[in-house]
Amino acid sequence: MRKHLGRCGLAATLTAALVAGTAVPAPAAAHHDRRLQVAVDDLHDLGITGVQGLTRVDGDTVRARAGVGDLERGSPVPLDGHFRMGSNTKTFVSVVVLQLVGEGRLSLDDTVERWLPGVVSGNGNDGRRITVRNLLQHTSGLYNYTRDITALGSQEGYLAHRYDHYEAADLVALATKHGPDFAPGTRWDYSNTNYILAGMIIERATGRTWATEVRARVLQPLGLRHTSEPGDRPSLPAPHAKGYHQWAPGGTLYDTTRFNPTVADAAGSLITTPTDLARFWQALQRGRLLKPRQMAQLHETVLADTWQDFIPGARYGLGIMFIPNRCGGYWSHGGDVPGMSTANAVDADGDRVAILSLSTQLADEDAAGAVSQRTSRLMDDVICGSE
């Protein structure tokens, strides 16, 4: 779940047990190797307890890591460990919706009311005015339910509610207690509520859960054996780094690895590895998942109005972002959950891809900004081929 779960501040001095970074280069990728290793080392120095990354440029794959996977034990970050991808889940869900569009089973112009009668109503919310396209593109105006999730606001709230189970309808009900932020189609603002509803529409259209459809339509065809939807399971598969969350600037880092991911559902519950996520992004951009018409729809973007201050020029398609840079731009979708974040970039042809998993959320805005800037610099260097 992106943005509203927060990026948190610079950690206090980390344990002396932090291990040196380790890179595994492809034979012909010496510079490629150095670029990734320098980046993960820098991110660790900025306060991220553990970083793992993967880059692939024209077939050459490099993996690198820095820091520790467990502050108490001082164990290294796994080179290709599992992590919660957060809102990158939205891209997978959007792909399934667009496949259904390509099969003629639903339309982007269908209303929410058409598929989910009465679900979006009250307090000025009107599912008759919100289309499937509005959901996927974050132009619905629906309130973002994650603002009301107690477990995301403090350490006390996290400990008290981290194992709470939520049904999708519960999450939508949290959102519709509030009026809409704007009329559908008139503005853009990120709302996890949109993708909870998209997951519900997938189930109504197919008779199967969104997670089952993602598995059948995306994970299995691409051989993504290490990507999964955990349901109520609060733990991560081994190997994995622990996630650490800092609730206040300069505060303690708390282990937030375990929580019930039903709070994220179709907006952000998937678990993956760098290798699997890189394969997904390359397959998507190479046209292996969508027909040409649906690929074009995926990439039809609008200005991401409320993100311009921290990602200038960012545009949002249907579950995918376009981020401009010095060589044009790249496609992406990051994600944040308590204690973990992921960043990625892929070029238009799927030939260049970068994946980062960061196992700390920092509370200080300046520190989090420095992490974001260093992350973006790596993405630019990989996509643009910087020397």
- Please say whether the beta carbons of 56 and 282 come within 8 A: yes
Q: What number of other Cβ atoms are within 10 A of residue 204's Cβ?
A: 14
Q: In sequence order, which residues have a C-beta less than 8 Å from that of residue 281 and are 6 or more positions away?
A: 331, 344, 346, 350, 353, 355
Residue 240, token pair as written in the block:
């994995």
Q: What is the pLDDT of residue 17?
A: 26
- Active-site hit among 75, 87, 94, 107: 87
Gap between the Cα atoms of 258 and 151, Å rounded: 12
Alpha-carbon span 112 to 127, nearest angstrom: 5
For position 387, what pLDDT does the model report? 53
Tokens for 265, please give them: 């559902």
CA quadruple 120, 125, 130, 134: dihedral positive or negative? negative
* Cα–Cα dist 169/83, whole Å: 26
Q: Where are the alpha helices (DSSP H) in 215-350?
A: 220-222, 274-285, 292-298
Contacts of 167 (CB under 8 A, 6+ apart): 262
Q: Which residues contact 120 (CB under 8 A, 6 or more apart)?
A: 112, 113, 126, 127, 130, 142, 172, 176, 197
Position of tokens 């519900």? Answer: 200
Q: Are 357 and 1 in contact (CB under 8 A)?
A: no
Q: Is 191 a catalytic residue?
A: no
| Cβ contact 298:106 at 8 Å | no
Q: What is the pLDDT of residue 292?
A: 98
Tell me which long-range contacts 299-306 makes (C-beta under 8 A, separation of at least 24). Answer: 299/331, 302/137, 302/139, 302/188, 303/188, 304/138, 304/188, 304/190, 305/187, 305/188, 305/189, 306/188, 306/189, 306/190
* Residue ranges of E strands in 35-172: 50-57, 60-70, 75-76, 83-84, 121-122, 125-126
In angstroms, the CA 300 to CA 264 distance is 25
- Taking each continuous run of H as one helix and of E as one strand, the counts in the chain are 12, 18
pLDDT score recorded for residue 27: 42
- Report the candidate in 46, 52, 50, 44 with the shortest Cα–Cα distance to residue 24: 52
CA atoms within 13 A on the CB side of 113: 9
Q: Supply the pLDDT for residue 25.
A: 43
Looking at residue 32, its pLDDT comes to 59
Assign 3-class secondary structure to 238-272. CCECCCEEECCCCCCEEECCCCCHHHCHHHCCCEE
Q: Which two tokens stand for residue 74?
A: 């001082």
Classify residue 21 by its DSSP letter: P
For helices 193-206 and 89-102, what crossing angle results, to 10°?
A: 40
| CA 322 – CA 258 distance, rounded (Å) | 32
Render each residue's pLDDT in the chain as its tens digit; 387 residues. Answer: 544 333 333 222 222 222 333 444 444 445 556 899 999 999 999 999 999 999 999 999 999 999 999 999 999 999 999 999 999 999 999 999 999 999 999 999 999 999 999 999 999 999 999 999 999 999 999 999 999 999 999 999 999 999 999 999 999 999 999 999 999 999 999 999 999 999 999 999 999 999 999 999 999 999 999 999 999 999 999 999 999 999 999 999 999 999 999 999 999 999 999 999 999 999 999 999 999 999 999 999 999 999 999 999 999 999 999 999 999 999 999 999 999 999 999 999 999 999 999 999 999 999 999 999 999 999 999 999 965
Q: Checking phi first, is residue 193 left (phi over 0); if not, alpha (psi -120 to 50) or beta?
A: alpha
